Amino acid sequence: MLKFYPDHVPARVPRLFGDMLATLWLVVWAVAGLTVYQVVEGLQSVSNGITGTGRALDSWIASFRNAVPRGIPGVSNFFVGLADNLQHNSGDQLIQFGAQAHDAINTLALALGLITAVPPIAIVCGTYAALRWRDAREMGSALAFVRAAERGGRTEQAKAVLAYRAVAQLSFTQLMRASDDPIGDLAAHRYDPLAAAMLKRAGLESFRLYDPGARRLKTPGPGSRDVGGEGEDEDHRRAGTERQVRRLGSGEQSD
């Protein structure tokens, strides 16, 4: 499965810009190769001139042959043989040489055009295409992972896997930007912030992996660790404190 562009719009810009540059590079060098081909093909006028000269000589020799009187013993055969020798050694040779030059110029023009265009296109565009293919395959695999988890109803397990991968693979800057206490989040099973950061690195928005009946993952900002589960813990602590206050209040009244 391939996914060529991330969900996150800012992450698409470098890839779009790179694609445009690679396309421009390919077009520029293709035009350069075509220009070289056309310039060398301009030498065909030389081969055409040689062929034309040979044909003109053949036509003159044919006129001379037709002008030779027939039926004169020795004389007619002499001039006819002379015309044949002239045609074979001059006109026909020039025509043959012109045809060979025509083929050689075609081959040279094609070779120089390819030598001009193919190496820079293959090196730059080939390398870029390989990197883009690997990037698209990685994003596509991440998307396939998310969809498989959603189909199987194992989104929480998928979040756990993503959270542990985030701790293992994200840089420390990215890790601490996602959570103030990554180890504590893992220990408390608060996977959402780390899973969201890992999805973002894979080119996917956090909304791609969530339980439709629960709140969506939110990518935390700097200094904010609580996403989903932390807010619920705070509500429980607040409710317990209120119950304690009510019990204390009732005890004072009884006294």
- Best CA proximity match to 159, nearest among 103, 105, 228, 99: 228
The number of beta carbons lying within 10 Å of the beta carbon of residue 128 is 16
User: Which pLDDT value is given to residue 215?
Assistant: 46
Q: Positive or negative, the Cα torsion across 34, 40, 44, 47?
A: negative
pTM for this model (two decimals): 0.63
214-228 mean pLDDT: 46
204 in Cβ contact with 146 (< 8 Å):
yes
20-36 mean pLDDT: 95
d(CA 56, CA 122): 47
Give the rounded percent of residues in the chain with a pLDDT score beyond 70.
Answer: 68
Q: How would residue 214 be classed by pLDDT, with cut points 50, 70 and 90?
A: very low
* 18-32, 117-131, 138-152, 208-222, range with the lowest pLDDT: 208-222
Q: How would residue 72 be classed by pLDDT, with cut points 50, 70 and 90?
A: low
* 65-69, 110-114, 125-129, 197-201, range with the lowest pLDDT: 65-69
Examine the pLDDT at 242 and tell me if it is beyond 80: no
Q: Check residues 22 and 58 and name the one with the higher pLDDT.
A: 22
70-94 mean pLDDT: 64
* Radius of gyration of the CA atoms of the chain, in A: 41
